[in-house]
Amino acid sequence: MIKVSADQSILEAVRLLLQSTGRDIYYFDEETSLEHKVNREHLIALVASGFPAALSLKSMEAITPNLLSSTIDSSQTSLGFVMRWFISVFESLHDGVLIIDHNEIVRYINKSFERISGAVFSETVGRVLTEARPGAKLGSAVRTGKPLLGVRRKFGEIEYMTDMHPIIINGECIGGVTIARDITEIQQLQTKLSKYQVRYNDLLRQINKENTATYRFADICGNSPALHAVKRLAEKLANSNLPVLLRGESGTGKELFAHAVHLASARHEQAFVTVNCAAIPGPLLESELFGYSAGAFSGAKQSGKSGLITLAHNGTLFLDEIGDMDIELQAKMLRVLQTGEVQPLGSVNKMKVNVRVVAATNRNLEDMIRIGKFREDLFYRLNVSQVYIPPLRERVQDISVMAEHFLGQCIHPSFGKLELDAETLRTLERYPWPGNVRELENTIRFIANITDRTVITPDYLPQVFFQHRTLVQKEQTIKPDEAVSLKTMKHAAEKEMIVAALTSFGRSVQGKREAAKQLGISLTTLYARMSVLNIK
C-alpha cells in the first residue's frame, strides 16, 4: 500500500500538466553539458507507478542519467530530489500552474501563474482558493471530479485561458490543478489578422471589380451573315476550355469577343484579367505576368508581387496584341499553357494555376513565324481555335445597324435623338473603314458633337470622307497604267491625315494616342503606318 502524500499530488499535477500542454521539456545536465529531451512517457510511468516505493530507477535514468547515480541513495532523498526537480520544471514553464489539495487550499503557484493572473505567491499559497481568488472554479472540478476546460480570463491587458483538472489517485480526488495559458499575443495577432482579412477582402473585391468582363454576345451588334457566323463559332468555343485566338484588323471588336467568350464560359464568375502585350515593355511584362519573389531584382518590392497569371487563376487571361510579345516570353507563356504551372521571377517554387487563355492579334502571325518573331509551337497551340473577325468593309450590312447603335448612345442636349439621312448612310457604307468599328464609333461621336440639326446630312461627316470620295472618283476615271500612281496618291492622302493629326495632338505618346483615336486606328497601327509612310 502506497501512502498518498501531498507531494504525490504534485506528481499527479505534473502528469496532467505534461499531458495537457503537450510540450517537450528539456533537461540540461551541467556535468555533461548535454541537453536531454525529457521523455514524457517515462515521467508518466514514474508517477503512475506510485511513489516512493515503486520508484523505478530505470525510468528515472532516462531523465537524469548522471545525477541519479550520484544523488539518489535512499527513497527519502530521492523524494526531496524529485520534488525539487519538478518544482524547477514548473518554475521554468511559460504556462501558469496553480495546485490545490482536497480541502481546496492552495498548495503551489508558479512564477508564470503570478505573471499571468496577478496572484501573489505569499498571499495565495496556504489560503482557501476562493478566499485568495474569488470566482475561481477549480474547487468545482475537485468536487465533481470533472475537468473544466478552456475557461477564458482577463487580468489587466493579459488574456488567458485556463484548464482545470481534478487530481485523482487510486480513484480518490486529492486536489486539483489549474493550467493557465497566456493568449494575449494570440488575441492580438487574431485582431491584426481580422483587420488584414478585411483589407484582403476589400482588395480582392477591387481586383475582381477591375478584372471583370463587361460585354456579352448580346452586346456585339451587327446583322451580317459573316458576323453571325463568327458569333456562333465563338459561342461554341466559349463552352470549351480551349485557348482561343481572336484575329482580325484593328478595331474589328476582338476585345469585345474576348469579354463575351469569358462571360459565356463556366468561368464567368471568376476574374477576367486583360494584359496588353504591346503597351508594356518586354522585361516589365514578364514580371507583370509571372510576378516575382521578395528581392528578386533591384527595385522589386520587398514583399514580392503576385503576377497577373496567378490573378487570373480559375478565370480567363486575355492576352491582347499577343503578336507584340517578346519571343523569350512567348516560350515561357507556352510552358504555362503546357504545364499549368507558374514560376515567379527569382523563386524556386512553382505554383499550379488553372487559367484559360484568350489571345488577340491584328498581326500576320504566319509572316512573323517566317521571320522568327513568333514561335510556331505557341501559334499552333493557340491557333487550333481561331476566331477571325472580318473587317467592317467586308460586312457592309453591319454598318447601318452599328451606326444606329452608336448614334443611340449620343443624346444631343438640344436635339435629343439624332438620325442619319439616307445619303449619309450610303456614304458610310461606301467608305472602306480602315479603322473598322472603332473608326465608325468615333465618326458617329464626332457627328453627334458638331451637328446643329436632328437629321444628319453628309456635310457633317469628317473631312476624310471627302478625301475618300475624291479618291474613288479619280479611281473610277483612272486608266490601268495609272494604277501605280493611285497607290501613291492613297499613301500621300493617308500620310497627310496622319501628319495633320500628329500636328494637332503632338508627338508624345499621349499625343499619338489621341491622334490614333481621332483617326480611328489603334496606337499599334499608327506606329506601323508611321513606319511604312516614313513619318518621323
Ligand X SMILES: Nc1ncnc2c1ncn2[C@@H]1O[C@H](COP(=O)(O)OP(=O)(O)OP(=O)(O)O)[C@@H](O)[C@H]1O
Helical spans, DSSP H, in 393-508 = 397-408, 422-430, 436-450, 463-477, 483-505
Q: Look at strands 419-420 and 386-388 and give their pairing.
A: unpaired
Who contacts 140 (Cβ-Cβ below 8 Å, separation ≥6)?
A: 148
> What is the DSSP secondary structure assignment for residue 134, as one 8-state letter?
T
Q: Amino acid identity, residue 254?
A: K
Q: Does 362 bind ligand X (CB under 6 A)?
A: yes
Q: Look at strands 96-101 and 172-182 and give their pairing.
A: antiparallel
Among 133, 247, 254, 363, binds ligand X (CB under 6 A): 254
Q: Which stretch binds ligand X (CB under 6 A): 3-11, 76-84, 180-188, 245-253?
A: 245-253
Q: Does 233 bind ligand X (CB under 6 A)?
A: no
How many chain residues are in contact with ligand X, going by CB under 6 A?
19
CB of 189 to ligand X, least distance (A): 47
Under 8 Å between Cβ of 101 and 127:
no
- Taking the least distance from each CB to ligand X, the nearer of 12 and 494 is 494
Binding mask 437-456 for ligand X (x = CB under 6 A): xx--x---------------
- Write the secondary structure of 4-69 as one string of H (helix), E (strand) and C (coil): CCHHHHHHHHHHHHHHHHCCCCEEEECCCCEEEECCHHHHHHHHHCCCCCCCCHHHHHCCCHHHHH
Grid coordinates representing 502 are 500628329
Among 9, 117, 162, 252, binds ligand X (CB under 6 A): 252
CB of 259 to ligand X, least distance (A): 8
Among 119, 256, 312, 497, binds ligand X (CB under 6 A): 256
Q: Does 250 bind ligand X (CB under 6 A)?
A: yes
Euclidean distance between CA atoms 115 and 96, whole angstroms: 8
Binding mask 266-305 for ligand X (x = CB under 6 A): ----------------------------------------
* Residue 526 burial (CB count, 10 A): 22
Q: Hey, which residues between 15 and 74 contact ligand X (CB under 6 A)?
A: none
- Taking the least distance from each CB to ligand X, the nearer of 405 and 469 is 405
CB of 435 to ligand X, least distance (A): 8
Phi, psi of 129 (to 5 degrees): -55, -50
Q: Does 243 bind ligand X (CB under 6 A)?
A: no
Q: Does 255 bind ligand X (CB under 6 A)?
A: yes
CB of 252 to ligand X, least distance (A): 4
CB of 531 to ligand X, least distance (A): 17
Among 175, 251, 291, 391, binds ligand X (CB under 6 A): 251
Give the CB-nearest residue to ligand X. 253
Q: Does 344 bind ligand X (CB under 6 A)?
A: no
- Taking the least distance from each CB to ligand X, the nearer of 175 and 251 is 251
Q: Which stretch binds ligand X (CB under 6 A): 29-37, 62-70, 74-82, 216-224?
A: 216-224
Residues 232-251, buried b or exposed e (16+ Cβ, 10 A)? eebeebbeeeebbbbbbbbb
Q: Is 226 exposed, middle or buried (0-12, 13-18, 19+ CB in 10 A)?
A: middle
CB of 203 to ligand X, least distance (A): 28
Q: Does 97 bind ligand X (CB under 6 A)?
A: no
Q: How far is CA 55 from CA 5, 42, 268, 303, in A?
A: 15, 11, 71, 57
Grid coordinates representing 218 are 448580346
Residue 455, strand partner residues: 419
- Taking the least distance from each CB to ligand X, the nearer of 114 and 429 is 429
The contact set with ligand X (CB under 6 A) reads: 220-222, 248, 250-256, 320, 360, 362, 402, 437-438, 441, 522
